[in-house]
């Protein structure tokens, strides 16, 4: 099968909009693979912070990105054989990931690694530029969003459930700053591109959001 015949559902959107949760469930229902592209930026950030790398040095960061020794195994993420599934969700890592993601060379260094997830029978990929840059020929492109307040509440609840310390007003401020950075950057900005279907989940639960995407995919 030619790789471009392998269907991709691209789900892009701002922080804590529900992309990862919804994408994983859609992938499960369809028997497709799943790509959490944000985890790659978080892994570069974690690796850089741990090696005291300069988070403003694009060359060093792109080299870290190119050399990432990472394994995705079901819901677990391993960096150099260490389980970092929760470590990459810490707010410091979130903020660092958003900063390093503004560097073109870092994005180029992660591009082929993301595209390698496109395997038979299909892929559901979530991030900021899945439909605009990584998989422009995606069969279905979704822009998943929710109000900033709703997203902050969701992230707060999520971090609390993981036992990760958080403060709701700091989360809301961080989230707004990252939204602005992710959509305001010159390279691969978060945007609702051509042919992308808007899905605002502020008043939808996870199941309703998943069903909405499955319905759209079935109607292609």
Ligand X SMILES: Nc1ccn([C@H]2C[C@H](O)[C@@H](COP(=O)(O)OP(=O)(O)O)O2)c(=O)n1
Ligand Y SMILES: Nc1ncnc2c1ncn2[C@@H]1O[C@H](COP(=O)(O)OP(=O)(O)O)[C@@H](O)[C@H]1O
User: Where on the chain is the footprint of ligand Y (CB under 6 A)?
Assistant: 13, 15-22, 154-155, 158, 201, 204-206, 209
In the window 177-206, what residues touch ligand X (CB under 6 A)? 178, 182
In the chain, DSSP finds a helix count (H) and a strand count (E) of 8, 8
- Cα 15-20-24 angle, rounded to 5 deg: 170
Neighbour tally for 58: CB within 10 Å: 15
What is the smallest separation between the CB atom of 169 and ligand Y, expressed in angstroms? 18
Residue 33, contacted partner among ligand X, ligand Y, none, CB below 5-8 A by kind: none
Q: Reduce the DSSP state of residue 162 to 3 states and report it.
A: coil
Give the span between the Cα atoms of 112 and 188, in whole angstroms: 15
State yes or no: residue 154 binds ligand X (CB under 6 A): no
Binding mask 98-117 for ligand X (x = CB under 6 A): x--x----------------
Angle between helices 58-67 and 104-115 (to 10 degrees): 10
Binding mask 23-62 for ligand X (x = CB under 6 A): --------------xx--xx--------------------
**Nearest residue to 145 (alpha-carbon basis) of 118, 110, 182, 173:** 182
**Nearest residue to 144 (alpha-carbon basis) of 108, 77, 91, 196:** 196
The residue among 19 and 185 lying less far from ligand Y, judged by its C-beta, is 19
The residue among 25 and 118 lying less far from ligand Y, judged by its C-beta, is 25
- Footprint of ligand X (CB under 6 A): 15-16, 37-38, 41-42, 94, 97-98, 101, 127-129, 178, 182
């Amino acid at each position: 099968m030619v790789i471009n015949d392998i269907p991709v559902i691209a789900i892009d959107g701002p922080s804590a909009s529900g992309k990862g949760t919804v994408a994983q469930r859609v992938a499960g229902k369809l028997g497709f693979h799943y790509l959490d592209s944000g985890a790659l930026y978080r892994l570069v950030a974690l690796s850089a912070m741990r090696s005291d790398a300069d988070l403003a040095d694009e060359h060093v960061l792109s080299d870290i990105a190119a050399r990432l020794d990472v394994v995705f195994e079901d819901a677990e993420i391993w960096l150099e054989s260490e389980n970092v599934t929760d470590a990459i969700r810490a707010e410091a890592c979130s903020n660092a990931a958003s900063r390093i993601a503004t560097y073109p060379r870092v994005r180029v260094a992660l591009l082929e690694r993301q595209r390698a997830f496109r395997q038979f029978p299909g892929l559901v990929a979530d991030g900021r530029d899945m439909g605009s840059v990584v998989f422009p020929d995606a069969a279905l492109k979704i822009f998943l969003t929710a109000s900033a307040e709703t997203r902050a509440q969701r992230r707060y609840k999520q971090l609390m459930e993981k036992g990760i310390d958080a403060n709701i007003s700091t989360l809301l401020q961080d989230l707004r700053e990252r939204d602005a950075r992710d959509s305001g950057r010159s390279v691969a900005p978060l945007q609702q591109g051509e042919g992308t279907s808007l899905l605002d989940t502020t008043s939808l639960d996870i199941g309703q959001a998943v069903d909405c995407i499955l319905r759209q995919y079935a109607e292609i």
